[in-house]
Amino acid sequence: MDPAVREAIYRAVEKEPFARALNMELVELDLGYSAVEMAYDPPTMNNIYDRAHGGAIFGLIDEAFEAACQTEGTVAVALNVNVTYVSSPEAGKFLRAEAREVSRTKKTVGYDIKVMEKDGRLIATCQALAYRTGKPIPFL
């Protein structure tokens, strides 16, 4: 992976308002791969049933997807994201989303994304498809 692209993506995620609002951190990045972590904070991330809101989990998935998609140095945008929620995280646990490229055509790329608690308990799985625009990432 191009070191300049890696550094640009790390900087962009650090400054991104949504990632900052949920205290997400990009912790690993390689060509077609990313890992993003966040602490599950019940007072701000719970739903009406006092469990983790699906939007918080989806936000973590989307951040990992977004970072992994840009690793070639070109803009990629989501076409489809299919999430299966497996279990609800325990209060205060750190969650990790890992996005891995699993398929590619000239214009699309598929990803397998998993969200797990740090101890390895599966929270959600995801299959996602991105469209590569071919345009350079603007924050490079």
Fold of 3-136: Thiol Ester Dehydrase; Chain A (3.10.129)
The residue behind tokens 């995280």 is 89
Q: What count of Cα atoms within 13 Å lies in the side-chain half-sphere of residue 42?
A: 10
- Tens digit of each residue's pLDDT, the chain (140 residues): 999 999 999 999 999 999 999 999 999 999 999 999 999 999 999 999 999 999 999 999 999 999 999 999 999 999 999 999 999 999 889 999 999 999 999 999 999 999 999 999 999 999 999 999 999 999 99
Task: Tell which residue, 137, 128, 2, 3, has the closest CA to residue 74.
Answer: 137
Query: Distance from CA of residue 46 to its chain's centroid?
Result: 19
Strand, coil or helix: 66: helix
120 φ/ψ angles, rounded to the nearest 5 degrees: 100, -5
Question: Whole-model pTM?
Answer: 0.96
The residue count for the chain:
140
Distance CA 97, CA 58 (A): 10
As a whole number of angstroms, the distance between CA 137 and CA 124 comes to 29
